[in-house]
Amino acid sequence: MLSLEAVEKIVHTHQGRHLALKNIHLEVEPGEIYGILGKKGAGKTTLLRCVHCLESIDTGSIMLDNSPLTHLPEKTQILARRAQGMVFAEPLLLSSRTVYQNVELALENMGDKKKDRQEKVVEALQMTGLQDKALCYPKELTLGQQYRVSFARALVNQPNIVLCDDITKNCDARTTHGLLKLFRELNERYHFTIVLATDAMEVIKMVCHRVAILHQGEMVEHGEVSGIFAHPKTDIAKEYVKSATRLEMPNALRRRLKSQETDHTYPVLRLIVDNNAGQEPFIAHAVQQFELTMNILQAHLEAIRDLHLGIMIAELRGKKNNIQSAIAYLEERGLHIEVLGYVL
């Protein structure tokens, strides 16, 4: 297990001294894919570099499988890095070396004897689907294949955990999908623990079990990805969920929407229903019980790993007291409801 306790990191820039990481607490369980979500400058890369012993922290502690990763002598840091794999935002392959030799380099750097390397390199290439590319050079590979080489290099030391720093940011949709599929297969087949930093909620929802959202060095929200999608608590989490749902309010409705409620307006709601809540017709019950009418304006089914969420935008009309009672009734039954505004 990876554990960060009260971790803080101070950085110095031309603008002065500031906290790049502020009181970070998180735990990554063995065998899970854990997402670190945040925009550029949120602290994602700094966090991964501290875990990988490439940078030191100023306060707090980092533990991996009950062994400390902080304040270590250089030789111990090297051994600690061997228990981890690191895939950087760029593939960072040596153009003069073949795929096999690029992967083998990680073992060379750790001092493994040549006779002990072959089996590990071949296994890492097989895991990443590169066994037929062993003698190719980086310039002969697609970008997705180059990242697979980088991932194979991270796996070749048989680490306990693999850290991935925003590796999909330069990839098109097809390449991203292929890499994320690889992550899921490795996680499910070999139970690799993967920590994946990204600025894309779309990536998080496809592969991660849990996620921590960073903003200006602080962890503002964390939990199961499905739970954050269904019940985001902070404005930042709500924005990420909104960006990844592909559900936009119709322009005609947006022009009519008012921010303030009056005696003559009715609410426009965003409702999110997960698998469990969707097994019962709670919305139909609420409309009938509280004598309301509902006009569904947009609807979308969202897949998050093995969970499906129904997301809709709807007008709710009726007596105001009944509307409030219906919203409370639905929230008690596990639906997430957000009032987007009001219409006449």
146 and 285 housed in the same domain? no
User: Tokens 């790049």 correspond to what residue?
Assistant: 20
Residues 6+ apart with CB under 8 A from 199: 37, 38, 39, 40, 42, 44, 166, 169
Q: Of 218, 242, 266, which marks where a domain is finished?
A: 242
Burial class (CB in 10 A: 0-12, 13-18, 19+), 264: exposed
Widest Cα–Cα separation across the chain: 81
At 146-200, the pLDDT tens digits run: 999 999 999 999 898 999 999 998 899 999 999 999 999 999 998 999 999 999 9
Structural domain count, the chain: 2
The DSSP 8-state label assigned to residue 117 in this structure reads H
302 and 213 housed in the same domain? no
The DSSP 8-state label assigned to residue 258 in this structure reads B
Is the predicted pLDDT of residue 41 greater than 70, yes or no? yes
163 and 89 housed in the same domain? yes
Encode 269-297: b = buried (16+ Cβ within 10 Å), e = exposed: bbbbbbeebbeeebbeebbeebebebeee
208 and 315 housed in the same domain? no
Nearest to 287 by CA among 257, 265, 319: 319
Q: How far apart are CA 18 and CA 30, in angstroms?
A: 32
- CATH for 318: 3.30.70.260
Nearest to 340 by CA among 245, 263, 238, 264: 238
- CATH for 144: 3.40.50.300
Nearest to 274 by CA among 239, 234, 243, 305: 305
322 and 203 housed in the same domain? no
pLDDT at 246: 66
224 and 279 housed in the same domain? no
14 and 77 housed in the same domain? yes
The whole-number average pLDDT for the span 244-259 is 81
95 and 172 housed in the same domain? yes
With cut-offs at 50, 70 and 90, classify the pLDDT of residue 315.
very high
Q: Of 208, 242, 276, which marks where a domain is finished?
A: 242
At 254-308, the pLDDT tens digits run: 888 999 999 899 999 988 887 665 567 889 999 999 999 999 988 888 777 767 7
CA 191 to chain centre: 18
Nearest to 184 by CA among 203, 160, 200: 203
168 and 67 housed in the same domain? yes
Range of the domain at 14: 2-242
Is the predicted pLDDT of residue 106 greater than 60, yes or no? yes
220 and 260 housed in the same domain? no
pLDDT at 277: 56
Q: How far apart are CA 10 and CA 24, in angstroms?
A: 13
Q: Is the dihedral of CA 327, 332, 334, 338 positive or negative?
A: positive
Rounded percentage of the chain residues whose pLDDT exceeds 90: 67
With cut-offs at 50, 70 and 90, classify the pLDDT of residue 342.
very high
Q: Of 223, 242, 261, which marks where a domain is finished?
A: 242
161 and 127 housed in the same domain? yes
216 and 158 housed in the same domain? yes
Q: How far apart are CA 211 and CA 26, in angstroms?
A: 10
Query: Do residues 248 and 288 lie in contact, with contact meaning Cβ atoms separated by under 8 Å?
Result: no
Higher pLDDT, 76 or 103: 103
